[in-house]
Amino acid sequence: MGQHVGSVDSFRSVDSVDSGGSARMELLRLAIREGLVEKDPSWKDALEEPLPAWVVLDIALKLLERVDPPSETYD
């Protein structure tokens, strides 16, 4: 898993800090690097759009697998 790059509070303030979109582009870059979303040029044009439920669920399941891998044992 990649390294921690920012706090939740810094991500919550993206709208108030960056009206030009560079912080949103950085979030997209990090999400691609971490494998949460596929590298697809159409993401750049959709950063202001709401995500469909299936995309949110896909990201949530990927994060859940990282936090609690299905095959990892603690023996």
> What's the pLDDT score for residue 10?
47
Decide if 49 is inside a domain: yes
As given in the structure block, the two tokens for residue 14 are 């993206």
Percent with pLDDT over 70 in the chain: 68
**Domain that includes residue 13, residue range:** 8-67
Decide if 38 is inside a domain: yes
Residue 9 scores a pLDDT above 60 = no
| Residue bearing the bigger pLDDT, 59 or 10 | 59
Number of structural domains the chain divides into: 1
> What's the pLDDT score for residue 33?
92
**Predicted confidence (pLDDT) per residue in 35-61, tens digit:** 888 888 888 888 888 989 998 999 999
Question: Cα-atom radius of gyration of the chain, to the nearest Å?
Answer: 14
Alpha carbon distance 71, 57 (integer Å): 21
Report the predicted TM-score, pTM, of the whole model to 2 decimal places: 0.57
How many residues in the chain?
75
